[in-house]
Amino acid sequence: MSLFLDNAATSFPKPESVYRAMDAAMREVGVAPGRGGYRQSLAAARIVYEARSALARFFGVRDSSRLIFTHSATESINIALNGLLKPGDHVVSTSVEHNALLRPLHLMRTRGVQVTFVQADHFGVVSEREMAKAIRPGTRLVAMAHCSNVTGVVQPIAETARLAREAGALFLVDAAQSAGFLPVDVGAIGIDLLAAPGHKGLFGPPGTGILTVAEGLRLEPLLVGGTGGNASSPEQPEEMPERLESGTINTPAIAGLKAGLEFIETTGLETIRKKEKALVDQLLVGLRAMPGIQVFGPPHGERGAAVSFNAAGHDPAALGYLLDTGYDIAVRSGLHCAPDVHRTIGSYPAGTVRVSPGYFNAEGEIEFFLKALREILAGKR
Ligand SMILES: Cc1ncc(COP(=O)(O)O)c(C=O)c1O
């Protein structure tokens, strides 16, 4: 039996109810939502509406029309940055961002947007003080990840939201690693733009994501086209969510995402977090007890469910290969699409081995992984 420890990329497996919901939506509904007035299309529209409402509630978004469906956190970030930024705008971000934010910011730079990257410390932690120094009057946007996909570091987003607000800047959070793991309340924290994948902690299928857009904030759409409403006008509608949601929505995928969220709500976010935290703690204790292992991230404090390490004298890619071929264990090695994190924590260019357990992993599986690693390091494989 293969052991999947790459949940930071995409959670696997999904709850049974997700598979069932997708199958049912595909067979029984399976049409474009809201495009036709007939019952089947209305049923599809109801699934999308209920999913939107449930996600809005979950993330503390008062008006569910301010939550749009996308294909990924990456797409959400692109819609936000392209829709908001103009040449001359100033953005503050950090030295520990995923390419999903880093590359769109880089592109924005080539279009005349100024970006200040705040340096995190060597654990990958961003300090509120450094953020405060970089944010200036007139800063248009502060954009950062809530939780790192490499180190698991949880960044101070509530404090940064306050700094942004005081400076009159908007605040974008990449919640790719925290959505479905940590509570994220957009309204209470003061997040103007929240980008989250549906396919990681929310247990939806690949190809799902969301973006929340604060009330009163008008974004230029990245994509224009059919929305199911205002068909006679050549202009993209002003109303949300249609303004930012062109093209036929993937109803079966949204049905799966809705079932994923229902699973979280019936299980309890706290229960999920406790279980994943216990697995992460078990990993940390086991890894730290092995000679020659360097575990990245801070020694104490809150962590997400991604643990990165390196073993002296071993290439991370070779370790990943041996775990896969020798033990059928799926971990990820390399840069994890976040080269600047490695430049910050000192693991560039080889990267790290990343182990990311999920809710469906068991203690015995972490033990199996640790035993496999010990054997590899002892040269038994
Ligand atoms: C911190 C972070 N941001 C963004 C992303 C991109 O998410 P998606 O694959 O949904 O585009 C990831 C995915 O690994 C991530 O870990």
For residue 127, what is the domain's CATH number?
3.40.640.10
Query: Which one of 6, 11, 74 would you pick to mutate in the ligand 1 pocket, going by the greatest count of ligand atoms within 8 A of its CB?
Result: 74
Same domain as 322, residue 366: yes
Same domain as 327, residue 263: no
What is the average per-residue pLDDT within 199-207?
Answer: 98
Contacts of 211 (CB under 8 A, 6+ apart): 67, 68, 70, 75, 76, 77, 79, 80, 193, 194, 195, 196, 244
Of 222, 247, 267, which residue sits at a domain end? Answer: 267
Q: CA–CA separation, 95 vs 196, rounded Å?
A: 20
Q: Read off the pLDDT of residues 280-299 as tens digits, 9 standing for 90 and up.
A: 999 999 999 999 999 999 88
Which residue in 203, 195, 356 sits closest to 266, CA to CA?
Answer: 203
Query: Residues near ligand 1 with C-beta < 6 Å?
Result: 9, 72-74, 98, 100, 145, 149, 174, 176-177, 197, 209
User: Which residue, by CA, sits nearest to atom 15 of ligand 1?
Assistant: 176
Other C-beta atoms lying within 10 Å of the C-beta of residue 268? 10
Same domain as 108, residue 28: yes
Query: Which one of 177, 203, 332, 352 would you pick to mutate in the ligand 1 pocket, going by the greatest count of ligand atoms within 8 A of its CB?
Result: 177
Beta bridge partners of 171: 142
| Torsion angles phi and psi, residue 15, rounded to 5 | -60, 145
| Neighbouring C-alpha atoms within 13 Å toward the C-beta of 357 | 26
Q: Read off the pLDDT of residues 326-371 as tens digits, 9 standing for 90 and up.
A: 999 999 999 999 998 899 999 999 999 999 999 999 999 999 999 9
User: Which residue, by CA, sits nearest to atom 12 of ligand 1?
Assistant: 176
Same domain as 34, residue 21: yes
pLDDT given for residue 286 in this prediction: 98
Same domain as 273, residue 244: no
For ligand 1, what atom is nearest to the CA of residue 72?
10
Of 213, 240, 267, which residue sits at a domain end? Answer: 267
| Res 3 pLDDT > 90 | yes
Same domain as 310, residue 163: no
Token couple for 45: 């529209």
Contacts of 37 (CB under 8 A, 6+ apart): none
Beta bridge partners of 90: 114
**379 CA from centroid of ligand 1 (Å):** 34
pLDDT given for residue 201 in this prediction: 98
Same domain as 49, residue 124: yes
**115 CA from centroid of ligand 1 (Å):** 20
User: Which residue, by CA, sits nearest to atom 2 of ligand 1?
Assistant: 176
For ligand 1, what atom is nearest to the CA of residue 306?
16
pLDDT given for residue 33 in this prediction: 75
Query: Which one of 10, 69, 71, 149 would you pick to mutate in the ligand 1 pocket, going by the greatest count of ligand atoms within 8 A of its CB?
Result: 149
Q: CA–CA separation, 194 vs 24, rounded Å?
A: 30
- What is the value of pTM for the model shown? 0.96
Provide the 8-state DSSP code for 65: G
User: Which residue, by CA, sits nearest to atom 7 of ligand 1?
Assistant: 73
pLDDT given for residue 43 in this prediction: 87
Identify the weakest region by mean pLDDT among 35-49, 52-66, 127-141: 35-49
Other C-beta atoms lying within 10 Å of the C-beta of residue 364? 9
Same domain as 103, residue 219: yes
Per-residue pLDDT band for 230 (boundaries 50, 70, 90) equals confident
pLDDT given for residue 379 in this prediction: 87
Q: Read off the pLDDT of residues 165-194 as tens digits, 9 standing for 90 and up.
A: 999 999 999 999 999 999 999 999 999 999
pLDDT given for residue 261 in this prediction: 98
Q: Contact 361/5 with Cβ under 8 angstroms?
A: yes
Per-residue pLDDT band for 226 (boundaries 50, 70, 90) equals confident
The bridge status of strand 67-70 relative to strand 209-213 is antiparallel
Q: CA–CA separation, 237 vs 220, rounded Å?
A: 11
Residue 191 lies in domain: 16-267
pLDDT given for residue 1 in this prediction: 67
pLDDT given for residue 118 in this prediction: 98
Same domain as 263, residue 120: yes
**176 CA from centroid of ligand 1 (Å):** 5
**334 CA from centroid of ligand 1 (Å):** 15
**149 CA from centroid of ligand 1 (Å):** 8
Q: CA–CA separation, 46 vs 378, rounded Å?
A: 57
Provide the 8-state DSSP code for 92: E
User: Which residue, by CA, sits nearest to atom 9 of ligand 1?
Assistant: 72
Same domain as 157, residue 289: no
pLDDT given for residue 29 in this prediction: 81
- In the numeric block, the tokens 């030295």 are attached to 95
Same domain as 292, residue 231: no
The CATH number of whichever domain residue 300 belongs to comes to 3.90.1150.10
Same domain as 201, residue 274: no
Which residue in 173, 88, 191, 82 sits closest to 138, CA to CA?
Answer: 88
Q: CA–CA separation, 343 vs 345, rounded Å?
A: 6
Of 236, 267, 298, which residue sits at a domain end? Answer: 267
For ligand 1, what atom is nearest to the CA of residue 147?
1
Structural domain tally of the chain?
Answer: 2
Q: What is the amino acid identity at position 95?
A: S
The bridge status of strand 90-94 relative to strand 141-145 is parallel
Mean pLDDT rounded to a whole number for the chain: 95
Q: Contact 80/219 with Cβ under 8 angstroms?
A: yes
Per-residue pLDDT band for 380 (boundaries 50, 70, 90) equals confident
Token couple for 133: 């120094």
For ligand 1, what atom is nearest to the CA of residue 100?
4
**100 CA from centroid of ligand 1 (Å):** 6
Provide the 8-state DSSP code for 175: -
Q: Read off the pLDDT of residues 25-57 as tens digits, 9 standing for 90 and up.
A: 999 887 777 767 788 888 889 999 999 999 999
